Chain A
Amino acid sequence: RSLAPRYNGEVGDIVVGRITEKRWKVETNSRLDSVLLLSSMNLPGGELRRRSAEDELAMRDYLQEGDLISAEVQSVFSDGAVSLHTRSLKYGKLGQGVLVQVSPSLVKRQKTHFHDLPCGASVILGNNGFIWIYPTPEQKDEEAGGFTTNLEPVPLSDREVISRLRNCIVALVTQKLMLFDTSILYCYEASLPHQIKDILKPEVMEEIVLETRQRLLDLEG
């Protein structure tokens, strides 16, 4: 497979995408924009609702152009365009966090793509190459799918963890290592002795990724 292709959707994949225009076209780094239909979205609280004009207006309030969402691929059209749904409570609008755009072929296919890393942040590894890093929400029972966007300032310690994770992911991608929860975690641990901004220096990057690669090999062997 080539290294920097566009994303080809498959049913069951998780993607992170950006809303581009009305009628809910979502940009997902694929050749054509993905489509998010109104009927595929869930309401706050997860109730069923009827399709009506006021519904459409309410949706416009909730999701605007430029917003980021996490969704699942429902079906793929014959021309390759992908249809998304956010029918489960764990999908929906994304609040505060950092987006890293990488090549889709570097994201490993796993059972779950939502990971809560022990270092204090959570990560969504979209199959389309869009990685979303965000602070782990405190309460687990809140309405996931983030209907209430949390705009409180994120504490400095969380921001440091997120910045470090972001630089680690960039380092792994530059060295062409597959991205999955264990590789990101090992890379994070290997980067701890260095300052966050130093991780992007070529020498430091090589050193950290070498150590990560070694630990992953040890894990397999």
Chain B
Amino acid sequence: EDLRVDGRGCEDYRCAEVETDVVSNTSGSARVKLGHTDILVGVKAEMGTPKLEKPDEGYLEFFVDCSANATPEFEGRGGEELGTEIANTLYRIFSSESCVDLKSLCINPREHCWILYVDVLLLECGGNLFDAISIAVKAALFNTRIPKVRVLEDEEGSKEIELSDDPYDCIRLNVDEVPCIVTLSKIGYRHVVDATLQEEACSLASLLISVTSKGDLTCMKKVGKGSLDPESIFEMMETGKRVGKSLHTSLQKILDEEESLGTTRQKVGFLG
């Protein structure tokens, strides 16, 4: 009958807050609060050597840190397993060619390229981690500003890299193709989007799908001890595509609104 404990329907997300540019010494950052789940993502662009098999592309490195503040289970080294699982999922999703234009990250083929180190910090665990993390990563990549560099070649043939003097002269990433993760948790005979901690405890199996803004599925993963019927998997995929598309449109709207406020925007950050 489409009524959950907190009054939401099966396809409703909780109230979400997204704020970008919260950490000043990163190339890009974003903070997402989805109910009680709090995620902080920072992106740092550094110069390095391209990978051997892809000499004319830059690449992304993901690192997930489950802070001990998030939940008592993360005390000490408890959060490492979850952190590596999330990082591996992010690698898988971003491994597809069309996500981010990696060729734009190249400076000198085979010699220099931009490496984007994406650090995800879990501040609080309130259910539905993957969705919140993917939203934060997309927002942080949207916010990332990579300085423009020029390659100067002098007479001996050695190359010098010159950074432009203007601090606002930078390249932005096109995040239109970056997918977002939608987690569908199966509870009883129905499935729900954006499960709270209590709902996750009742759910035996969940399906993680990554959806682009056009509604295309790029990646799928099943988690949980229970089993899923193939028919229900198909239904969940359809729901995920639908929900994912609307998630992308609302996220893009918020990011554009924030952008349009420009430098006069009052940052709430961590003190609000």
Instruction: Give complex CA distance A92, B259 in Å.
Output: 57
Q: Is the interface of A mostly helix, strand, loop or mixed?
A: helix
CB of B12 within 8 Å of the partner chain: yes
What 5 A-B pairs are tightest by C-beta distance, nearest first? A196-B7, A197-B7, A163-B7, A197-B8, A156-B1
List 19 A–B pairs whose Cβ atoms lie within 8 Å, in order of A's numbering.
A156-B1, A159-B1, A159-B3, A163-B3, A163-B4, A163-B6, A163-B7, A164-B7, A167-B6, A167-B7, A170-B6, A195-B7, A196-B6, A196-B7, A197-B8, A197-B9, A197-B12, A199-B7, A200-B15
CB of A201 within 8 Å of the partner chain: yes
> A166 and B5: CB pair below 8 A?
yes
Instruction: Give complex CA distance A177, B1 in Å.
Output: 32
A199 partner residues in chain B, CB cutoff 8 A: 7
CB of B14 within 8 Å of the partner chain: yes
Residues of A154-194 at the interface with B, using a CB-CB cut-off of 8 Å, are 156, 159-160, 163-164, 166-167, 170
A196 partner residues in chain B, CB cutoff 8 A: 3, 6-7
Among B1, B6, B8, the most chain A Cβ lie within 10 Å of the Cβ of B6
Contact of A200 among B3, B9, B14 (CB under 8 A): B14
B12 to chain A, nearest CB (A): 6
Instruction: Give complex CA distance A189, B7 in Å.
Output: 16
B1 partner residues in chain A, CB cutoff 8 A: 156, 159
B125 to chain A, nearest CB (A): 16
Q: Which residues in B have some Cβ–Cβ distance to A below 8 Å?
A: 1, 3-9, 12, 14-15
B249 to chain A, nearest CB (A): 19
Instruction: Give complex CA distance A201, B8 in Å.
Output: 12
Instruction: Give complex CA distance A159, B12 in Å.
Output: 17
Instruction: Give complex CA distance A201, B13 in Å.
Output: 12
CB of A98 within 8 Å of the partner chain: yes
B8 partner residues in chain A, CB cutoff 8 A: 197
Q: Is the interface of B mostly helix, strand, loop or mixed?
A: loop
A120 to chain B, nearest CB (A): 15
CB of A202 within 8 Å of the partner chain: yes
B183 to chain A, nearest CB (A): 19
Instruction: Give complex CA distance A98, B198 in Å.
Output: 11
A100 to chain B, nearest CB (A): 9
B9 partner residues in chain A, CB cutoff 8 A: 197
A197 partner residues in chain B, CB cutoff 8 A: 6-9, 12
B15 partner residues in chain A, CB cutoff 8 A: 200-202
B78 to chain A, nearest CB (A): 21
Residues of A192-212 at the interface with B, using a CB-CB cut-off of 8 Å, are 195-197, 199-202
B5 partner residues in chain A, CB cutoff 8 A: 98, 163, 166
B247 to chain A, nearest CB (A): 16
Residues of A66-111 at the interface with B, using a CB-CB cut-off of 8 Å, are 98
B47 to chain A, nearest CB (A): 42
A167 partner residues in chain B, CB cutoff 8 A: 6-7
Residue on A nearest B7 in the bound complex, by CB: A196
| 11 additional A-B residue pairs with CB within 8 Å, beyond A166-B5, A197-B6 | A98-B5, A160-B3, A163-B6, A167-B6, A167-B7, A195-B7, A197-B9, A200-B6, A200-B7, A200-B15, A202-B15
> A166 and B6: CB pair below 8 A?
yes
A163 partner residues in chain B, CB cutoff 8 A: 3-7
Instruction: Give complex CA distance A201, B1 in Å.
Output: 23
Residue on A nearest B9 in the bound complex, by CB: A197
Instruction: Give complex CA distance A141, B6 in Å.
Output: 31
B243 to chain A, nearest CB (A): 15
Instruction: Give complex CA distance A163, B12 in Å.
Output: 15
Instruction: Give complex CA distance A98, B4 in Å.
Output: 11
Instruction: Give complex CA distance A74, B5 in Å.
Output: 33
